[in-house]
Every structure is written in C-alpha cells, then in structure tokens.
Amino acid sequence: MLKKINRSELREGLIFSAPVFFDDGENMLLSQGMPFKKRELAALDRWKISFVLSAGRAISDAEAKALAQAAVNDDDLEEIEEIEEVDSLDEAEALDELESDEGGAPVSANPLAETAGLDKLQYTTEQILKLPEVLAHTELYAKYHGLIRDLDTVFLAIQSRGEVRTRSIDRIVSELFVLIQTERSEVVGYILGGDVKEMQSAKCAVNTAILSIIIGEHIGLPRHRLLQIATGALLHDIGMIKVPVSIINKETKLDDNELQIIRSHTSYGYKLIVNELLYADEVGKAAMQHHERWDGEGYPGRLAGDKIDIGARIVSVADAFEAMVSPKAYRDSMVGYQAMKNLLSDNARRFDPDIIRAMIQSMGIYPVGSIVLLNNSAIARVIQSHQDAPLRPVIRVLIDEFGNPFMMNEGETVDLIDNRNLFIARAIDPSEYQKES
C-alpha cells in the first residue's frame, strides 16, 4: 500500500526501500535505493507538490548499498522485470488505495498541469516543443507530407469516381518502406510530432501504414505480406467515403441507423479494394476485418482469435493507436504514453495480445516523438526506443534541469539504458507547456 510522505519530512540524502512516486501515485520520482538530492527537492518545491507516495520506508546507507549490490548482481533479471512492468502498467490505474490519516490535499491526476509555477516558465514555447524538422520543413518531412498529399489525391479520385491508378498507391507503399528503412525514428516521430492539420483521412492512413509495417517487421512477416498489409493499411478506411461527414463528425451518440451506416464502411471498402482496384483478397481483408475483435464481439463477421486475418489484426492495433493520438471533433488528442497504456489494458478483448506486445516492443511505452519529464526536472523528447527496455528510451533534452531551452536538436542526447540515475517521471502533453511566442 502506498503511504503519504509530506514534503516537510523529506531531506537531502533520505533513501527509501521502495520507489517514490509523485502525488499521483503513478509516476516515479525516485527509484528504490536512490537518495533524495537537492534537484528532486527543488523540483517538488517548484511544482508545489506537498507530498509524495511510497510503499517503502526510510533506510540507512548500508541497507541502500545492499540493495544496489543486489541490483548489480541481477542485471539480466532487471531487464526481464522491466518487460513484465510493461505488461502490468494498466494495473497502475488501480493504485488508489492510499493512507490518508493526515488529510491534506487530494491526489492530483496531473500534478504539473495544475501547478501555477508553470506559468513562470516563459521559455517553454511552441517553437521549442515542435520538431525542428517540422519548423524547418526539411527534405525528410517534405517527403512524409508529400506522401500524405499524394494519398489524399487518390482518395479524392476514388470519391469522385475518377480514374485511379493502383501504381500510385503502390508507389506510396514503396516510398514508405524506404523511409522506414532509412529514417525510421524520424518518420515515426512525425506520428506524434507532425503538424499536418489538413488531409486528415490521408494522414491517418499513412500513419497507420507506418505503424503496421513496423509491427509486421517486428514479428518477422515476409516482404510480400508486409507489402499487402501496408497497402491494406493505406486503404483500410476507404469505405468511409460513403459515410456522410455529418455522421463522421457527430459529437453526440449515434442512433441505430447512423451506427449501421458507419459499420457498412468495412464491406464497401473490401469491395472497392478487391473488385475495383483489383488487389488481392489479403489486402481487402484489412478493410473488411479491422473492426473484428479478438473476443469475437466485433463486426461485420463476429470473427474471433486467429480466424481474423493477421494483417487485419495488425492494422486494427495500428489504427487504434493512431486514432488515440490524433485530435477528433469530439475530443483532444491523447499523449502516446496514455495511448500505449490503453492498448495494454485491453486484456485480449479487442486486440491480439501478441500484436500488442509487438507494438510495445517495437515502439516503446514512450513512443518516439513523446515529450517526457525526467526525474531531474528536465523536459525531453523520445527519439529512439529499445526493444528489451521499453521504459528506458533514448531522449534528447529540450529544456535542461536548470531551465535552459534548446532548439533545432542541439540539446544533449541521453540513452537511459546507460544512465541509470535518470529516468522518465511522466509523459506530458505539450499543450501544457505551449505559450505564445
């Protein structure tokens, strides 16, 4: 059980036998056996956090050294436990049984968003938080943006019943493969850090295809299947062109008739892909089956388990993640970390658990492009993930612990696997920090 420790009880050098969490009970401030330093105490004061939480107790230096030695002897076990922590992150939502005998302020689900101190950080501008490639519109970002534009042209041609050359779609797939092979981290970063506000359907399709290729490569699918899955991912929602925009953007609950119209897009998409564009059945299945569920409660065929095509299972996960991190008419976008947690909490209802695991291992719990707060109060962007340590990615500092901002990628790059004293305290929503320039 997590116990409350008031800020007044904390001092420099104090060590706890279990990890110490922020006042939300979820995001870690210090790992087990690590002493409080001036920077952690100063960060709590700066953020006006009045207490922290831990299941441990204060321990002596000797006990801390014993803990550290055990950790050194169990390096291999630590990596396994880190993967297991990924599997159980959804259980963090249940950490609400706190001892509150002393009363005090309620636990905040978002300790920084409610902190007045943030308003004093005038340097946390949109320019610092945006990807430099987006600001400068680099050649790579221009290619990514161009593929979205090209796919949007295809969608418009299909919608107007004009001539559609499948080689245009095949070229987009081919170029996506090249970008992923040569500039994977940068291209993945555009999913969270891109700034394409128009051409939403095409943008979502391209991002879903990028994620689908990465997942498919991770599980070792052959090249020809990856090509089919990528093509299916680009076209999986093509049937939505038959759905009125008023229904797609409706903010209130859909009635039965509207729901039926929405669900018909899977069948229409399959027919268009196979009968009109003349792609293989495996490509059409991505459209037909991407709303089937692992537990058999999906549509249109109520298929379950491995009766759902592997491509559709991959596209389903990729599409769900992309939808969560993209703004919609009825809600704001979700940070990548929360989207990953939502996937993890599925518990084999909607998604194939093996595909979820592949997604996490290939993308990380903090996906590339995520903005994160470090335990030393620095703000950074995730630029690379580690398959075997999804909680310890490579990050680039945007604002250091002293408040110095960095733009155009000149901040320090840190591999959290090599620097065990640093770790991610929490993922943050860039909108919390954006200020007028």
Same structural domain, 269 and 349: yes
pLDDT at 99: 31
E strand or H helix at 61: helix 61-73
pTM for the whole structure: 0.73
Q: Cα–Cα distance between 49 and 112 in angstroms, integer? A: 9
- Angstrom distances, CA of residue 107 to CA of 48, 99, 204, 280, 303: 13, 11, 36, 54, 42
Same structural domain, 187 and 332: yes
Same structural domain, 106 and 137: no
Q: Cα–Cα distance between 138 and 187 in angstroms, integer? A: 12
pLDDT at 400: 87
Structural domain tally of the chain?
3
Same structural domain, 241 and 327: yes
Across-strand partners of 395?
382, 414
Same structural domain, 238 and 144: yes
Same structural domain, 238 and 386: no
pLDDT beneath 70: ranges in the chain? 26-27, 64-129, 132-137, 327-333, 431-437
Which residue segment(s) compose the domain that 384 sits in? 368-432
201 belongs to a structural domain: yes
Same structural domain, 275 and 194: yes
Q: Taking the CA of residue 232 as centre, how many other CA atoms within 13 Å lie in the half-sphere pointing to its CB?
A: 34
The DSSP code for 274 is I
Last residue of one domain, picked from the residues 346, 363, 380? 363
Same structural domain, 80 and 146: no
Residue type, 410: E
pLDDT tens track for 291-322: 999 999 999 999 999 999 999 999 999 999 99
pLDDT at 287: 93
Same structural domain, 343 and 241: yes
pLDDT at 410: 83
CATH of the domain at 213: 1.10.3210.10
Name the average pLDDT for the chain: 80
Same structural domain, 372 and 228: no
Same structural domain, 204 and 81: no
Same structural domain, 211 and 312: yes
